Structure 1
Amino acid sequence: MSITSIESVLQQMRVLAQSSAMSAPTGPEAASGGFAGELKKSLDRISDSQQHAYSQAEAFELGKPGVALNDVMVDMQKANIGFQMGLQVRNRVVAAYQEIMNMPA
């Protein structure tokens, strides 16, 4: 992986962190911070984008006005990229866990 792609990912993460800091959650979500809370929020965002993409696709299939094919395709690709990112994060977390478990005591 090249340095420019890593820097690009870091920049995207900074933008997401700033946007999530502006919309601070209240109630039980505010109390559950840390890695688990951030992971749950990320999974919820991935799920929301998939649900939005599927509803857009269904609306296009039903012929509802105002739903263009290019918008549906872009939403589907965004949902796919989000899912692939979540899958890669999961793979990295599992690999890190396995590496830690294999460390000598």
Structure 2
Amino acid sequence: MDIKAQALYQEMQGMAAQTKLGLGESNAIQGNPSSQNFADLLGNALNTVNDMQLESKNKAIAFEMGDKSLSLADVMVAKEKSGIAFEATIQVRNKVLEAYKQIMNMPV
């Protein structure tokens, strides 16, 4: 699999700029586009997935305890969302490891 890092990076930057403009933020990416630390972005994503899993667990416990404000559908939707987020995280991890292995196997 041939990875075109520069094209992928530009596409990601374009998507980020579109997202910021869609949210009403007037100042899109300016200056150095790589000024955000990748580790911070990855940490935030992992925290979001963790929060989704905790929310799903809390909803399931509340439903089991007889909370009338929650329906079974709410609990199942929260569970599926957290499962999908976790699977996406695993896929990202696998792609990062694959890219790392390709970089390490490059001739110097």
Please indicate, yes or no, whether the TM-score normalized by the shorter chain is above 0.5.
Answer: yes
- Distance in 1, matches of 2:16 and 2:82, equals 20
Using structure 2 for the length normalisation, give the TM-score: 0.69
Which of 45, 49, 67 matches 2:52?
Answer: 49
- Distance in 1, matches of 2:70 and 2:16, equals 32
Q: Higher Cα Rg: structure 1 or 2?
A: 2
Q: Which has the higher helix share?
A: 1
Q: Secondary structure at the match of 2:82?
A: helix
Cα offset for 1:36? 0.8
Tell me the residue number matched to 1:69.
72
- Distance in 2, matches of 1:71 and 1:14, equals 30
CA RMSD of aligned residues (A): 2.8
Paired residue type of 2:86: F
Q: Structure 2 vs 1, CA of residues 52 and 21 (structure 1 numbering), >3 Å: closer, same or farther?
A: farther
Q: Secondary structure at the match of 1:67?
A: coil
Paired residue type of 1:90: R
- Distance in 1, matches of 2:69 and 2:41, equals 34
Q: How many residues align?
A: 85
- Distance in 1, matches of 2:23 and 2:37, equals 14
Tell me the residue number matched to 1:98.
101
Paired residue type of 2:95: R
- Identity of aligned pairs, percent? 39
Unaligned runs of 5+ in 2: 1-11, 26-34
- Distance in 2, matches of 1:81 and 1:72, equals 14
Q: Structure 2 vs 1, CA of residues 90 and 72 (structure 1 numbering), >3 Å: closer, same or farther?
A: same
Q: Kindly indicate whether residue 93 of structure 2 is the aligned counterpart of residue 86 of structure 1.
A: no
